Chains A and B, each alone.
Chain A
């Protein structure tokens, strides 16, 4: 049923029809008609951000914690360019976003008009798809198609650039219906090839040293995929490790859990990846942080790779059994076929493997030397984790990027999917604070904590103002070592401890800063006072900036240095990390 309305009204109507309750945005000249249409309704609630990058990360946090697409509305020119970092972040981490950018009127496009930029040109390589709407007739289709593309297949960000005259133009709106949305060329493959799945099960049934290597794809495939992963792990008895993006899909409290793998993963997970005979990759993409040196990556294993994106298959690592499909559908089939073959897990056949894994676990790769006088960052996260376990509220964690992010991944444990939000692929410092705001918007009664570093958090600190405005009680847990800790660690490792610009000077007084924003500030620098300070943070009903002064020169270990294979991981007892990497490794990132 077609209805006549303006382009701006169509935008709001389409958001309503798509069930979008919250959007994150910032107005500007070219976006005013849409803002005016929004003002005259109350289904879609708008969260006013302080910078468009904040809007994109909020939408990412919202999307990751709900499984629904995050929606962003920004103006032309700088509004669009400021959104680019968040769009790229969402592309690399496969987060469904719909970003509506306003554009100068079609008659002015190409004239270097005020606040004009080539938004579709700029965002072409950092979106899954983008549109410039040139006619009001196309707008309803594009609006609905954008949601379809953002949320199906391998999810990702979609930009719709809408010139101001199109926002004013009147046209016929239609609702999203299956028929009108049948796309001619976009058809993601969701069902895995049955023969390939059977081959995979055959291999798994013969495996003596198997491992599940799971990733963000399991989380993107919905909570059922995590349930099915748990079931398959139980049926098989195989160990499970996960990438940074996949944490929570498999419960950390389960005895089959190996911890995270990769550059800062556990010794047991990385050694098991290296020595396994059958690797079952579900929804991960052999990222360079995971594989280390490719020619020495898990050299003797047969590799099964389940991924919804055909371009991920054989991109980095050649696999023996590729299965293109939705992780959940493939997991369901795997369970069904496994059940049809056997009722017992392969406990006996892989007993030796578990014995070996136990030996690796006994190494205690996440151990650190604690202190009575100075707060160790790992310990601070452990104390935070213990304190949150006593909470009756649901707990969501976001992070910035750097050492604190890796320590959070190592020492904060997740039993549920969609409760861990971090910038994995792009590694965007400044992600965590706005992401926490987005999560809190979606889950107003939950406890949302951004585990941060003092350098990262300053990149998007202004969004604390957004949190205060909307009374979003996010907790910003800053591990303050007055260093860009990971940069400093790499300078130790690679550049003779010459600390070029890796220290945070002229740091603000975070307590006063919090107060200036109308939030609460807490500072803690003594181990004995940490628990009480954390309790005060958790008890406060409002946003808190928590400044934890931690050990300044702690290294994040274990670590697989660049250019090294998994079995050359540096463990915490290594004295001098500066002598480990050779000249060739130094050139890698």
Chain B
């Protein structure tokens, strides 16, 4: 009675295996109102999207607007969903996929505490200089460095500090903006 499933040649197989995940940086312009961050974060957790990094701060005080920079790793299909779901939130004005839209800059700031004396201390200072890390606090046995740059640069610096007495790291998460004269 029941017909057999024919070979489909379908374009609609579940796409999880066929699509590779990509890292994308989204810039989200939102009303700076109570609960907005919870709305955005809640959306990601409720729908099973992963957040790699999230940065939020008010950017236009007069208009009470904040900019959220969120880095996600997802397949192209899921990325489209993330963007559509974000845009559906009432206080969200615009969502830009900076990675998809062309050249953009991304910067992150890290504060890095390193303990050390003797040779280690000298080596630490030499490397910090090479990475243009600022010393923002120092004692006879420790430094706190401020490093700004692409996340990969900060990753490298942290890796180098590891054997030299790395104590702890705090990172801001990413801030990103597109290149050129156009605004968001």
Contacts and interface: CB of A to CB of B under 8 A. Distances in A.
Interface residues of A, number: 37
A347 interface: no
In this complex, the member of B2, B3, B12, B14 whose beta carbon has the largest number of chain A beta carbons within 10 angstroms is B12
Given A310-B84, A567-B3, A295 B13 contact: yes
B130 interface: no
A571 interface: yes
Interface in A176-219: 183-186
A250 to B, nearest CB: 26
A300 B31 CA distance: 44
B103 interface: no
Contacts of B84: 310-311, 313, 315
B5 A295 contact: no
A571 B88 contact: no
Given A296-B8, A299-B8, A311-B85, A132 B34 contact: yes
Contacts of B85: 311
A235 interface: no
A358 interface: no
Interface in B1-40: 1-6, 8-15, 30-31, 34-35, 38-39
A571 B85 CA distance: 38
Contacts of A298: 12
A299 B91 contact: no
Contact of A120 (B1, B6, B35, B92): B35
Interface string A568-584: 11110110000000000
A299 B31 CA distance: 43
A459 B111 CA distance: 57
Interface of A: 120-121, 124-125, 128-129, 132, 134, 149, 183-186, 271, 294-300, 309-311, 313-315, 317-318, 565, 567-571, 573-574
A300 B81 contact: no
A127 to B, nearest CB: 10
B108 to A, nearest CB: 28
Given A124-B39, A296-B5, A314-B80, A309 B10 contact: no
Nearest to B88: A311
Contact of A124 (B1, B35, B88, B93): B35
A311 B90 contact: no
B19 to A, nearest CB: 11
Nearest to A291: B12
Q: B-side binding surface: helix, strand, loop or mixed?
A: loop
A184 B3 contact: no
A483 B9 CA distance: 43
Contacts of B93: 184-185
Contact of B87 (A184, A297, A310, A574): A310
Nearest to A565: B5
A132 B35 contact: yes
For the residues of A in contact with B, the DSSP-based class is loop
20 contacts: A124-B39, A124-B42, A129-B90, A132-B34, A149-B90, A185-B30, A185-B93, A295-B8, A295-B10, A297-B12, A299-B10, A299-B12, A311-B84, A311-B85, A315-B84, A318-B15, A567-B6, A568-B3, A571-B2, A573-B1
B9 A567 contact: no
Contacts of B30: 185
Nearest to A126: B46
Given A184-B93, A571-B2, A574-B1, A124 B38 contact: yes
Nearest to B63: A184
B81 A568 contact: no
B2 A569 contact: yes
A185 B31 contact: yes
Given A124-B39, A271-B3, A314-B77, 11 more contacts: A125-B42, A185-B93, A295-B12, A297-B10, A299-B12, A300-B9, A310-B88, A311-B84, A567-B4, A568-B5, A571-B2
Contacts of A310: 84, 87-88
Contacts of A185: 30-31, 90-93
A568 B2 contact: yes
A573 B91 CA distance: 54
Contact of B2 (A121, A184, A318, A570): A570
Nearest to B91: A185
Contacts of A569: 2
B165 to A, nearest CB: 42
Contacts of A297: 10, 12
A574 B90 CA distance: 49
Given A299-B12, A314-B77, A186 B90 contact: yes
B34 to A, nearest CB: 7
A310 B35 CA distance: 23
Interface in B64-86: 77, 80-81, 84-85
Contacts of A318: 11-12, 15, 77
Nearest to A311: B84
Residue from B1, B35, B88 having most chain A Cβ neighbours under 10 A: B88
B33 to A, nearest CB: 9
A300 B90 CA distance: 37
A571 B1 CA distance: 8
A554 B148 CA distance: 69
Nearest to B30: A185
A296 B88 contact: no
Contacts of A271: 3
A74 to B, nearest CB: 20
B90 A294 contact: no
A317 B12 contact: yes
Nearest to A313: B84
A226 to B, nearest CB: 26
B5 A567 contact: yes
A317 B4 CA distance: 22
A315 B92 CA distance: 20
A184 B42 CA distance: 22
Contacts of B80: 314
Nearest to B80: A314
Nearest to A128: B90
Closest 3 CB pairs of A and B: A299-B8, A311-B84, A299-B10
